[in-house]
Amino acid sequence: MRSITVENGERLGRRYAYNDLVRNKGINAALVVTLVLSAFLMATGSMVLERLAGSIDRLSEQGEPPDFLQMHKGAYDRAALTQFAADHEPEIDEWLVEEMLGYEGASLSWTRPDTGETGDLAASRIDNLFVTQNTEFDFLVDGTGDVVEPAAGEVYVPVLYQQQYGLAAGDVLTVRTDAGPHRLEVQGEVKDSQMAASLSPSSRFLIHPDDFEALSRAGGATPEIIVEYRLADGGDANAMQTAYEGAGGLPTNGPVVTGQQLRIISMIGDGLVAFALVFVSLVLIAIALLNLRFVIRGTLEDEVHEIGAMKAIGIPDRDISGLYLRKYRVLALVGCVVGGLLAIVAANALTQGIQTTYAQAPVGIWTFLVPLTALAAVYVIVVGICRSVLRGVRKIEVVNALVHGSTLDEKQTARRARRQARWVRRTGLASSSGAGVNGRLALLDLRAEGRAWALLPVVFGLTAVLITLPANMVSTFESPRFVTYLGALERDLRADVQFQEDVDGVKDRLIAAMEDDDRLTDVQTFAYVDFHADSAEGRARLRVAVGDHADGAVRFSQGGMPRDGQIALSVLNADKYQVGVGDDLTVYDGDQPVTVQVSGIYQDITDGGQTAKMSGEVAEGASAYTVYADLADDAADPGATADAYDAQFPTAGVKPTQEYVRETMGVLTDSMRGAAWVALVFGLGVAVLITSLFLKLRLTRDRPKMGVLSALGFSAKELVGQVRTKALLLVVAGTAAGLVFAATAGQSLASAGLTAVRLGITDLTFIPNPWLVYVLYPLLLLGAGCLGVALLTAGIRRADKSEWIRG
């Protein structure tokens, strides 16, 4: 008997689900589209992240990058490196010193013999390093993962330049040297497990040892080295960095990077769009859930008589809920399946560049498990919220359902009646004070049924957050004031004198030229001095910018600028040395300890985010110098002035400060800009879709009310105006609330995300583009709302109003 009942229930459930899907095609189609978009973005984002991680891992297997590396320019003591490796023999598995020749982009040009095309790499601001193939580890590999061995006269170029300039086998790369041009034939491109990341400041060209010797003798290059270490299994790269910096006598004139940092840089630079897709998906899921709650509650109210009848004949609440739940399970399943299939196509397109830059990610269990888990999460969340809303079936009383057509019990019905009576007395049309009747009716309806209309402002609020957060991030990264987040001054020109033999001489000549130049004013110099301090992992190098920090231009999250006997630390250094504002920190100048007080903590993403500042003056002997200057004429072109100084002092790295910001943040900003476009397109599309879906349901429910108004003499134009007034008021209110949230709490969300990836920024203050965020985007959202309203209210003029009175 029980099996027959279950079988009948299954047939009834399938029949009801089918009939409802057919009867409410528009509503169900809109719900499916929202669910498809949610599932599509979630699955696509997760697949891109999985493929990116797989590609990075695969290239690491092929190229065997170091776990810890130190770049260096200038002389060094190889015997000291050998002794350091011997002292840490259990921890160090392998080590090597790779010699490199660095060239500016303007020194490299290319020719395509087949077509006669020519060009150069002058537009590139990254370091171009010529190297030979390593024999121990850190290999440069081709597209199949094989270690490349060029012949004499051949060169393999980085994938970056192959993509940017189309360099291919047969092209000729010419290197300008002091002795004349040195020509190399391009044989292909190489993938670099160490410098493949889009945020990497350097790239490596692979040549034969004979060509390397010839370029070394020809002059015109900047010799550099990378000291690289592969650690034994379980080795701690951070501890090795601390030991290296504390050893003394080792080459340290350059950036230091760990393998974990290389991976994070790769994931951030190339995975930002994927993170944005996941964020957009989460917002869309929230919107979809709000819509489902609205639709389900509306369905229960519309079909309350049928529910009452089923309860009256003894059908259990669980079975009644199951009838409705079955339909939403079908919709969720369809959305996840279609979204997942679309995600496969999109992920393949989005990962083509990633797999070209890194490696072909292997297909494994995670390739299928990650997107399936993401889709399953979407399905479970959707079904779970549906099940939660459908629990309201248990609260429906048979008498109220059959007699009054209400889903409320007696107490809830009485409370609603008292509230409505108060609203009528307080807001009757007699108290209109001259306001238009149609506008007054629209406001009264909103006040009386505010909860029923709440979906629209919430959706537009979420959409406003969705599209403005990425836009605010982009405008912040591009703002001239963002330089203060880089631990730098907001000045017109910046020169970095570092990583060369005659640092003091170049600095002195540069400062003399700038101070004698009538075009410049406020020339200011900071010297970088290497101290040491004790961290939890041992004594580590602490690189300090010494100079006059009194102008207070750098943004501090805590405290302020250092004075005599004080030091200011970057966020990551404060965390590394476990100190806060007011604490004492002992630093070592050689073997001489000096106790200083921490005056402030600031945000900085340069030099791995580990920087410091002290007040004072260093005339000679610093490892590097940074020189700032302003233009005396505000209308002058910083770029032209910087180019003139760069030609006169080619090793000083003179450039406009804003170009320095673009070089530091350019790839990250470009990725964020792509994410902002994704959010904008999907946000506006969802705004139109949800507005249409919501109004379709509201107009269906409000037909009896509108039929009465029509019978009382209100024209179709007036009825349309009332609906549009209500919808657009809520759209405006939701958009405004979303903008306020994005400008306040949105900063905390962005700061939390940046803190999690340890970039060195923990408290981001948006620098928005007001015309974009507070004018154009709100107008676009209002336009999307107006479009949705216009589409759904167009049918009111043609409808038979007399049918509406009968419901």
Whole-angstrom distance, CA of residue 211 vs CA of residue 680: 51
- The pLDDT, as a whole number, for residue 794 is 74
- The pLDDT, as a whole number, for residue 421 is 55
**Stretch among 206-210, 674-678, 780-784 having the lowest mean pLDDT:** 674-678
| Residue 205 token pair | 């060209």
The secondary structure of residue 152, as a DSSP letter, is T
Instruction: Compute the average pLDDT of residues 16-42.
Output: 75
Q: Judge whether residue 288 has pLDDT over 70.
A: yes
Whole-angstrom distance, CA of residue 481 vs CA of residue 369: 44
| Residue 79 token pair | 């015997």
- The pLDDT, as a whole number, for residue 217 is 92
* Cα 135 from chain centroid (whole Å): 38
Q: Which residues pair with 593 in a beta bridge?
A: 588
- The pLDDT, as a whole number, for residue 198 is 58
CA-wise closest residue to 129 among 33, 224, 6, 245? 224
- The pLDDT, as a whole number, for residue 20 is 63
Model confidence band, residue 221 (pLDDT cutoffs 50, 70, 90):
confident
Give the other-Cβ count within 10 Å of 561's Cβ. Answer: 19
Whole-angstrom distance, CA of residue 668 vs CA of residue 336: 31
Give the other-Cβ count within 10 Å of 71's Cβ. Answer: 23
- The pLDDT, as a whole number, for residue 336 is 92
Model confidence band, residue 537 (pLDDT cutoffs 50, 70, 90):
confident
- The pLDDT, as a whole number, for residue 295 is 77
Whole-angstrom distance, CA of residue 246 vs CA of residue 88: 13
Model confidence band, residue 404 (pLDDT cutoffs 50, 70, 90):
low
192: amino acid identity, one letter: D
pLDDT above 90 covers a percentage of the chain that reads 21
CA-wise closest residue to 761 among 480, 482, 571, 578? 571
Domain map (residue ranges) of the chain = 1-67+259-395, 92-231, 439-483+663-807, 501-650
Greater confidence (737 vs 796) lies with 737
- The pLDDT, as a whole number, for residue 2 is 44
Cα distances from 678 to residues 44, 48, 327, in angstroms, run 13, 15, 31
Contacts of residue 45, defined as CB under 8 A and 6 or more positions apart, other chains included, come to: 274, 275, 276, 277, 278, 281, 374
Sign (positive or negative) of CA dihedral 130, 132, 135, 139: positive
Model confidence band, residue 432 (pLDDT cutoffs 50, 70, 90):
very low
Whole-angstrom distance, CA of residue 453 vs CA of residue 734: 11
- The pLDDT, as a whole number, for residue 231 is 92
pTM equals 0.74
| Contact between 753 and 469 (Cβ < 8 Å) | no
Whole-angstrom distance, CA of residue 200 vs CA of residue 202: 6
- The pLDDT, as a whole number, for residue 671 is 72
Q: Judge whether residue 725 has pLDDT over 80.
A: yes
Cα distances from 445 to residues 217, 234, 276, 420, 725, in angstroms, run 86, 67, 38, 11, 11
**Stretch among 325-339, 414-428, 596-610 having the lowest mean pLDDT:** 414-428
CA-wise closest residue to 533 among 577, 596, 584, 579? 577
Whole-angstrom distance, CA of residue 58 vs CA of residue 366: 14
User: How many angstroms separate the first and last alpha carbons of the chain?
Assistant: 40
Q: What is the DSSP string of 225-258?
A: EEEEEEEPTT--HHHHHHHHHHH-SS--SS-EEE
**Stretch among 300-304, 377-381, 802-806 having the lowest mean pLDDT:** 802-806
pLDDT digits (tens, 9 = 90+) for 539-581: 778 889 998 887 666 778 888 889 888 999 998 899 888 999 9
> Roughly what angle, to the nearest 10 degrees, separates helices 657-701 and 716-743?
140
Whole-angstrom distance, CA of residue 142 vs CA of residue 121: 22
Q: What are phi and psi of 438, to 5 degrees?
A: -65, -45
pLDDT digits (tens, 9 = 90+) for 493-530: 999 887 677 888 888 999 999 999 999 998 999 998 88
Whole-angstrom distance, CA of residue 64 vs CA of residue 67: 9
| Contact between 480 and 494 (Cβ < 8 Å) | no
Q: Judge whether residue 373 has pLDDT over 80.
A: yes
Contacts of residue 178, defined as CB under 8 A and 6 or more positions apart, other chains included, come to: 218, 219, 220
Instruction: Compute the average pLDDT of residues 119-131.
Output: 81
Give the DSSP H/E element, type plus range, for residue 34.
helix 25-63
| Residue 446 token pair | 């909103």
- The pLDDT, as a whole number, for residue 115 is 84
- The pLDDT, as a whole number, for residue 723 is 80
Instruction: Compute the average pLDDT of residues 46-57.
Output: 87
CA-wise closest residue to 470 among 676, 775, 739? 676
Q: Which residues pair with 410 in a beta bridge?
A: none
Whole-angstrom distance, CA of residue 308 vs CA of residue 304: 6
| Contact between 503 and 497 (Cβ < 8 Å) | yes
- The pLDDT, as a whole number, for residue 419 is 56
Q: Judge whether residue 4 has pLDDT over 50.
A: no
Highest mean pLDDT among 189-198, 310-319, 571-580, 746-755: 571-580
